[in-house]
Structure 1
Amino acid sequence: MMASNKESLQTIHTEAVGPDYVSKNHKPEATVSTAVSFPNVHVLAQTPQLIALLTMIRDVNTDRADFIFYSNRIIRLLVEESLNHLPVIAHEINTPVGRSYAGVMFQGKICGVSIMRAGEAMEQGLRDCCRSVRIGKILIQRDEETCMPKLFYDKLPEDISDRWVLLLDPMFATGGSATMAVDVLKSRGVPEDRILFVNLIASPEGINVFAKKFPKLRVVTAFIDQGLDEKNYIVPGLGDFGDRFYTL
């Protein structure tokens, strides 16, 4: 494991980013998301806007107010992309000028479930896009004796088995907490293919395990980083998201 970690940390994926009409010679080189080959993992397009936002929240010198502001912008992008993966049905309407328009409308009910406490930072972004959306909570912490994730608390909508679930957690390192959260949802009757895991930054190690364990679940993330260090911290990462969002 240590050898593979070191190997992955040596790989930095960079490419020129910028509008298509700008010459490649004038585009800045930027670190972009690590490529993965899982069909159920969807990474946001590595646009200049997204890379600039990620740069702000990764910077150790970014103060809390700016960290919250720029994180919320990324979260909004993630939620909007996640909603694109929900089913729609045909819906024809009439416009104010008397013409018909062949459109679509959302099908089914949704809810959010945040993995406390960092996942709670993503709730407002979901509320901004989905009015009056129900939100459940799951608290998972590491057992100090076994170093394994342990479920401490969950509060979920009674009809969650009938809903599409957006599972919210900004940082995805080893995947232990997210895996347990998915197991909780499945135990409450939520089909695996109705769960979308919404995440800001992931590790390739966590993605590899998670995508194979839950092949029907979809992951929507903004960025897959280089890897994990010897302490299982995501690198280059951004530090402790919950601390920077709520307290630092």
Structure 2
Amino acid sequence: MEPDLLQNSHVHYLNINEDFDFGPKFKKLRITDNVRELQTVIRDKSTSRGDFIFFADRLIRLVVEEGLNQLPYKSTQVTTPTEQVYNGLRYEKGNCGVSIMRSGEAMEQGLRDCCRSIRIGKILIQSDEDTHEAKIVYAKLPPDIADRKVLLMYPIMSTGNTVVKACNILTDHKVREENIILLNLFTTPQAVQLVQHKFPEVTILTSEVHPVAPNHFGQKYFGTE
């Protein structure tokens, strides 16, 4: 069996493993050639910042669209311009987004493009310089968040610690665990396992599970390299 990470002189080869099974609360985008190209450009160190943002926004949009499929809908009828009755669906009211700053803010526009008037809260979590423990610095959430479904946005999950802290904040504000849907682009297996261990009812949606996450995402996207 080939290892996930091989070393040959100065080059590391990342092999993709598609066999992770984390149960019904874990969901992954269907991997098409289009999705794989987006992932490839984002991981490529030679990608310009302009191209990086363009391709990242495309992948974000796909994840957001799939995340919307996890929300509750209700049946409805509308009348068409030709006076025909059409049986369709509408979102049930009571959804919001929460971005984990700063990288999570890259996903906000993608959510607004799909849900024009959705409310978005923010959580800032930083590592302590001495202990390296993730600590809550700031949280601004809708006052009625306990009654809402929450699309929690965080593009890169390496350890899962930051997402666990964010979920702690949400549950402290009386958000039900099963009402939290994590929208993520890239995650490691151990990060998924940690979040599922701490919050087994949280839905995790990602585009890729890989032992090596592209941790340069936030710096490249916001130009802080």
When normalised by structure 2's length, the TM-score is 0.90
Q: Is the 8 A contact 1:143 1:149 kept in 2?
A: yes
Q: Is the 8 A contact 1:170 1:200 kept in 2?
A: yes
Residue number among 88, 111, 115 corresponding to 1:126 in the alignment: 111
What amino acid does structure 1 have at the position aligned with 2:217? F
SS at match of 1:108: coil
Provide, for residues 183-209 of structure 1, a one-character-per-residue CA deviation record: whole Å limited to 9, x for no partner. 100111111111100000000011012
Q: How do residues 1-248 of structure 1 correspond to structure 2 at under 5 angstroms?
A: 10-11=3-4, 31=16, 33-225=18-210, 227=211, 235=212, 237-247=213-223, 248=225
5+ residue gaps, structure 2, are: 6-14
Q: Is the 8 A contact 1:32 1:223 kept in 2?
A: no
Provide, for residues 185-239 of structure 1, a one-character-per-residue CA deviation record: whole Å limited to 9, x for no partner. 01111111111000000000110121232121101101101x2xxxxxxx1x324
SS at match of 2:178: helix
What amino acid does structure 2 have at the position aligned with 1:107? E
| Deviation of the 1:96 alpha carbon | 2.1
Q: How large is the RMSD of aligned CA atoms in angstroms? A: 1.7
When normalised by structure 1's length, the TM-score is 0.82
- CA distance in 1 between partners of 2:20 and 2:87 (Å): 36
Q: Is the 8 A contact 2:72 2:91 kept in 1?
A: yes
Q: Is the 8 A contact 1:34 1:204 kept in 2?
A: no
Q: Is the 8 A contact 1:112 1:133 kept in 2?
A: yes
| Deviation of the 1:118 alpha carbon | 0.6
Q: Is the 8 A contact 1:92 1:102 kept in 2?
A: yes
Q: Is the 8 A contact 2:124 2:139 kept in 1?
A: yes
- CA distance in 2 between partners of 1:11 and 1:118 (Å): 26
Q: Is the 8 A contact 1:142 1:150 kept in 2?
A: yes
SS at match of 2:90: strand
In structure 2, do the counterparts of structure 1 residues 34 and 223 end up closer, same or farther at CA, with 3 Å as the change threshold? farther
Provide, for residues 42-86 of structure 1, a one-character-per-residue CA deviation record: whole Å limited to 9, x for no partner. 000011110011111110000100000000000000110000011
5+ residue gaps, structure 1, are: 1-6, 13-29, 228-234
What amino acid does structure 2 have at the position aligned with 1:10? P
Q: Is the 8 A contact 2:152 2:182 kept in 1?
A: yes
SS at match of 1:97: coil
Same amino acid, percent of matched pairs: 42
- CA distance in 2 between partners of 1:37 and 1:242 (Å): 26
Q: Is the 8 A contact 1:115 1:181 kept in 2?
A: yes
